[in-house]
Amino acid sequence: MSAHIRPVSPVFVVLVCLAFCSRLSSMKAASICTNGQTGCHFISLANLFDRVIQHSARMHGISNDLHSEFELYFLPSKNQIGRVSHNCHTSTILTPNGKENAQRIAREELTEVILKLLVAWRDPLWHFHQDMAQHHEFNNFSSNKSLEMSDMVHELRKGVQKVVEKMQMLGIISPSIGNLGTPEALLASDSAEWRLMNDYDLLYCFRRDSNKIQHYLKILKCRIVPEHGC
């Protein structure tokens, strides 16, 4: 007497296939994660660039808003605004002028410029937030923006450092710049130069530098992964 063999359900086959493919996909992702981490998610270099570029765009947008609000509260006269001179503490950091010059310098050098600018703004923005919190004319919404801007610089620096690590892992840039994310390797960010700036100069200079950072990140991405949205 022959045993009756039940046909395999097509739904069961699909579910097994999906589970197997999912397992393979996760194993592949885990195998290329750095530092031997388990269960980490694979993120492509292009996606990492997109994240830091979007973050830098939001940061620059906040700096624009704060700059405009500061003019409204503290510099009501347009003639007064025109007479303001801006002395930026980051003027000692050599930055390429224009897109062509930024495209011409080495990848490592452009990456170093981005990180230097981010580190240079770490302490000044925190102290700016502390100062703004004491100004009753400056509303709480604007004070919260100054804190958000300070936090975004910190997060963007960590994000750019992840991009650096990924480029090094892929052999795109030299591993010799591995410590660029540390303040000691870049400059003394606690130097007294930025303390000589008034609040308006500080906001003006950060708006300028945040715009540079955003453009440099876009240029760096297009030089390294030009097939992704360039």
- How do residues 53-68 score in pLDDT, each as one tens digit? 999 999 999 999 888 8
pLDDT, tens digit (0-9, with 9 covering 90-100), for 82-115: 445 567 889 889 999 988 999 999 999 999 999 9
| 148/186 Cα distance (integer angstroms) | 24
Sign of CA pseudo-dihedral 227, 228, 229, 230:
negative
Q: With cut-offs at 50, 70 and 90, classify the pLDDT of residue 39.
A: low
- How much is the average pLDDT of 133-141? 63
- What pLDDT was estimated at residue 34? 44
| 55/210 Cα distance (integer angstroms) | 11
Q: With cut-offs at 50, 70 and 90, classify the pLDDT of residue 14.
A: very low
- How much is the average pLDDT of 32-49? 68
- What pLDDT was estimated at residue 37? 54
Q: Could you tell me which of 212, 204, 199 has the C-alpha nearest to residue 114?
A: 212
- Per the model's pLDDT, the better-predicted residue between 126 and 102 turns out to be 102
Q: With cut-offs at 50, 70 and 90, classify the pLDDT of residue 81.
A: very low
pTM value is: 0.73
Q: What percent of the chain is predicted at pLDDT more than 70?
A: 63
Half-sphere exposure of 173 (CA within 13 A, CB side): 23
- How much is the average pLDDT of 148-163? 93
- Per the model's pLDDT, the better-predicted residue between 45 and 85 turns out to be 45
Would you say 177 and 108 are in contact if contact means Cβ atoms under 8 Å apart? yes
Residue 50 reports pLDDT greater than 70 = yes
Q: Which of 107-116, 194-203, 216-225 has the lowest mean pLDDT?
A: 194-203
